[in-house]
A and B are shown apart, each in its own frame.
Chain A
């Protein structure tokens, strides 16, 4: 075993006690139980030695991301950097007694290099964790923002809010049809009051949705096309012919009733 690694292995206990001391300062580890923490450190140390011997940073980085608190999606990237830096400094300090400058310099370079690679790989993995998290959030957001509200035995309202991209348009179409099936709806009022931009793509999605709903025996009424959107659609040459449109949800409800041959009647007191 070369001197570099030998020194670190010899000073294992010193490493663990210093790491325990320094890392406790991080919020990350404050609430961790002593046993789990020590276990982590010992494992980390084992991986570190392997890493320094083989100059391979994948395993240690995998360990850090999958088995330690550093793999949490809630972490700030900065914290990852700080913890990595702290550990590196601790390892460097282990060489304090070797004052022969050249050796120290070489040790430093070598250590710094491998820690750099570990950090890079960590950041990649960590970015991926963040991305997946954001994706999940977006999914939830999609779901929250396409609620379907039954207002009677026969009628559903689907208020749409926000920007509709291809993915979302797809999802809206599927959810609307599932809702028609589930509630056995005859009418769906799609409210687009909260949709600021209706371009060709969105218009196409609405078209498809309306046609598909018809195949399931439901009529769609599109409510709330704003003056701006109406002008945009006209300018783009998109014709909503054959699709019933109304100014707002209330009028949409009235229309759905009318189409069923019904009206709302007040009670005589």
Chain B
């Protein structure tokens, strides 16, 4: 298993690919079924958001491993319009597309760590991590 893997998101079929790759990587890492589902669903949300707002972007998988624990980091990057009001975007139940996105807060709840960097007019980078409980 390579350390880093990257999928370009520019079409709906890429969402499926990203999900499948995500599931495979998380399964190989030893995540249980429910965690695999959480990770895969988060990927689906992130990838869909990329398509919806930026039209194209990348989903990057990074395997994290140190002496104490191991985990999976997923990066969703795009050069889209960016998020103007981050606080609003992170509010529960908020979505600008009329319910098509669960809102970032949902994705945040599925994962252990969540970081977002967004600059209007430049792009967005969302980093999520899930750790394996030993």
Chain A residues with CB under 8 Å of chain B are 167, 170, 174
In the docked arrangement, what's the CA distance between A170 and B133, Å? 12
Q: Which residues of chain B come closer than 8 Å to A167, judged between CB atoms?
A: 133
Say yes or no for B34: interface residue by CB 8 A criterion.
yes
In the complex, number of A-B residue pairs with CB atoms less than 8 Å apart: 3
B34 pairs with A174, CB closer than 8 A: yes
What A residues does B34 contact at CB under 8 A?
Answer: 170, 174
A52 to chain B, nearest CB (A): 29
Q: For A170, what are the chain B residues with a Cβ–Cβ distance below 8 Å?
A: 34
Q: List 3 contacting pairs A-B, 8 Å CB cutoff, sorted by A.
A: A167-B133, A170-B34, A174-B34
Q: Which residue of B lies closest to A166 (CB)?
A: B133
The 3 closest A-B pairs by CB, nearest first: A174-B34, A167-B133, A170-B34
Contact with A along B123-134 (1 / 0, CB 8 A): 000000000010
Interface size, B (range): under 10
In the docked arrangement, what's the CA distance between A16 and B133, Å? 45
Residue in B closest to A177 when the chains form the complex, CB atoms? B34
> CA separation between A41 and B63, bound complex, in Å?
43
Question: Which of chain B's residues has its CB closest to A173's CB?
Answer: B34
A143 to nearest B CB, angstroms? 15
Question: Separation in Å of the A139 CB from the closest CB of chain B?
Answer: 12
Name the CB-closest residue of A to B34.
A174
Complexed CA–CA distance, A170 and B110 (Å): 13
Report the nearest B residue to A135, measured CB to CB: B134
Residues in B whose Cβ lies below 8 Å from that of A174:
34
Give Cα A201 to B34, complex, Å.
19
> Which residues of B108-134 have CB atoms within 8 Å of chain A's CB atoms?
133
Q: Which residue of B lies closest to A132 (CB)?
A: B134
Encode B57-68 as 1/0 by CB contact (under 8 A) with A. 000000000000
Roughly how many angstroms separate A170 CA and B31 CA in the complex, as a whole number? 14
Alpha-carbon distance A174/B133, docked complex (angstroms): 16
Contact with A along B17-35 (1 / 0, CB 8 A): 0000000000000000010
Complex-state Cα separation, A174 to B34, whole angstroms: 8
Task: For B33, give the chain A residue with the smallest CB separation.
Answer: A174
In the bound complex, CA of A62 to CA of B106 (Å): 46
Instruction: Give the complex CA separation of A167 and B132 in angstroms.
Output: 12
> B85 CB to closest chain A CB, in angstroms?
27
Q: How far is the CB of A178 from chain B (nearest CB, A)?
A: 10
Residues of A within 8 A of B133 (CB): 167
Give A168 Cβ to nearest chain B Cβ, in Å.
Answer: 12
Q: How far is the CA of A170 from the CA of B34 in the complex (A)?
A: 10
Please, how many angstroms separate the alpha-carbon atoms of A167 and B134 in the complex?
11
Minimum CB distance partner of A131 in chain B:
B134
B32 closest partner in A (C-beta): A174
B134 nearest in chain A by CB position: A135
Mark each residue of chain B from 22 to 50: 1 if its CB lies under 8 Å from any CB of chain A, else 0.
00000000000010000000000000000
Bound: A205/B87 CA distance, A: 26
Closest A residue to B35 by CB, please name it: A170
Write the chain A residue with the least CB distance to B133. A167
Alpha-carbon distance A172/B133, docked complex (angstroms): 16
Complex Cα distance, B133 from A260, in Å, reads 41
Nearest chain A CB to B31's CB is how many angstroms away? 13
CA–CA, A166 and B133, complex, Å: 11
The minimal Cβ–Cβ distance linking A176 to chain B, given in whole angstroms, is 13
Complex Cα–Cα for A150 and B133 (A): 31
